Structure 1
Amino acid sequence: MIIGGLSARLAGARARLIDELSRAVTGWGGQVPEDPGVAELAVLLEEVAANLRAITSSTRAELAGAVGHLRAADRLGGLLPAVTLWHLGQALQRAETLPGTADPTTAPGPAPQTC
């Protein structure tokens, strides 16, 4: 039962990471469906990043990295649970670089128009 126990622990860790990513995306104004998939979180994180009015290039790069890790975790699915968890953890770390929505210069909304 060593493998069964490991699978259960990894499934729990995966669920916790997806929950944390969902809360983060919701905190930035994204509409997260109930029981989101990893691919859905990647799309939502891209949308949140695109809707921020002011964002630094380094934050944009971190968010692109987070989306990349989410897409890698989605491609792996359940084949390599430990690797999938690593990608989910990396996505969460990078997503945490987003400034809080309480900061009016970075609140979600339409991007400023340039003429």
Structure 2
Amino acid sequence: MIIGDLSARLADARGRLIIELSRAVTDWGGQVPDDPGVAELAVLLDDAAANLHDITASTRAELAGAVGHLRAADRLGGLLPAVTLWHLHQALRRAATLPGAQEPTAAVELA
């Protein structure tokens, strides 16, 4: 039952990261629907970044990086859950550590 336990932990971690990413998108001005998908979060964060005019080039680059990680996670879907989680975590780190964003609270442990 090791695979079942790992799958459950990965699903829980994915859920926590989606919640945190939704908060980050909201912090940047996006309107997040109930139960958003990864692709939706990528579009919302990209739109929020496009509408911000008084941010630095490095902040814009971090947001673009976050969007890139979200799109990579969406492309992977459920094929490689651990790799998908890595991309989601990288997106959260980039989007939630920028000025004015809330500190991420989701800790992802795969062990």
Please tell me the TM-score bracket, short chain as reference: 0.7 to 0.9
Q: What secondary structure sits across from 2:3 in the alignment?
A: helix
Q: CA deviation at 1:25?
A: 1.0
Q: CA deviation at 1:24?
A: 1.3
Q: Residue in 2 aligned with 1:110?
A: none
Q: Is 1:55 aligned with 2:55?
A: yes
> Higher mean Cα deviation, 91-100 or 38-47?
91-100
**CA distance in structure 2 between the aligned counterparts of 1:24 and 1:68, rounded to whole angstroms:** 15
- Deviation of the 1:46 alpha carbon: 0.5
TM-score (norm 1): 0.84
Name stretches of at least 5 consecutive residues in structure 2 with no aligned partner. Answer: 102-111
Which aligned segments of 4 or more residues in structure 1 are displaced greater than 2 angstroms? none
Q: Give the structure 2 partner of residue 93 of structure 1.
A: 93
Percent of aligned positions with the same letter in both sequences?
Answer: 84
Q: RMSD of the TM alignment (CA)?
A: 1.1
Give the TM-score of the pair, scaled to structure 2.
0.87
Distance in 1, matches of 2:63 and 2:97, equals 8
Equivalence for 1:42: 42
2:28–2:45: 8 Å Cα contact kept in structure 1? Answer: no
**Number of corresponding residues:** 101
Give the equivalent residue in structure 1 for 2:28: 28
Q: Return 5+ residue gaps in structure 1 as ranges.
A: 102-115
